[in-house]
Amino acid sequence: MLDKKHLRKHLFVDPKLQGPLIARVVFYWIVCLISITLMLLCWQVLSGPPRPFHVHLNKIWFQYGPALVASLIMLPLVIIDIVRFSNRFVGPLLRLRRSMRELARGEQVEPIEFRETDFWQELADEFNAVMHRVQNHPADDENYSHQPEEDEPVAVG
């Protein structure tokens, strides 16, 4: 059974990243349609008898219009899939960022866990190690002053 803690509550979680991602998908879709249309048009003009330009366009629309409509129907499904896929890297970064802010404010932070399908699983482990060090050894971090090694150059000035 699914744990409610690990269910996504929102599909669109980071508009600053996912918005441009959607715009890019739509842009590629439009560029693809334009390039295919131009290739088909050039092929018809070069391989067929001489006709007025609008006749070529009408023929392309009649032959390939259903494919255009099908791709238009598929576009929202592709966008939803891209948004859901991007949640696998956007969600972990949002959780990591939220926990880092809490840690920086000196708040007690719980270890983070990403969903099994999320990317960057090892990033959660690395953050948890840092979080454990900061929360369990705060005196070590506050009193730490870097002393240069013998080989290390010392900045003067």
Helix, strand or coil, per DSSP, at residue 154: coil
Q: What is the pLDDT of residues 77-107, one digit of tens each?
A: 999 999 999 999 999 999 999 999 999 888 8
Domain locations in the chain? 12-138
- Taking 80 as the threshold, does the pLDDT of residue 148 lie above it? no
According to the model, what pLDDT value does residue 2 have? Answer: 47
pTM above 0.95, yes or no: no
Mean pLDDT of the chain: 84
Q: d(Cα 91, Cα 96) in Å, to the nearest integer?
A: 9
Which range, of 3-7, 41-45, 58-62, averages the lowest pLDDT?
A: 3-7
In this structure, the number of other CB atoms found within 10 A of the CB of residue 91 comes to 19
Q: 139: pLDDT confidence band, cut at 50, 70 and 90?
A: low
Give Cβ neighbours of residue 109 (< 8 Å, ≥ 6 apart): 99, 102, 103, 131, 135
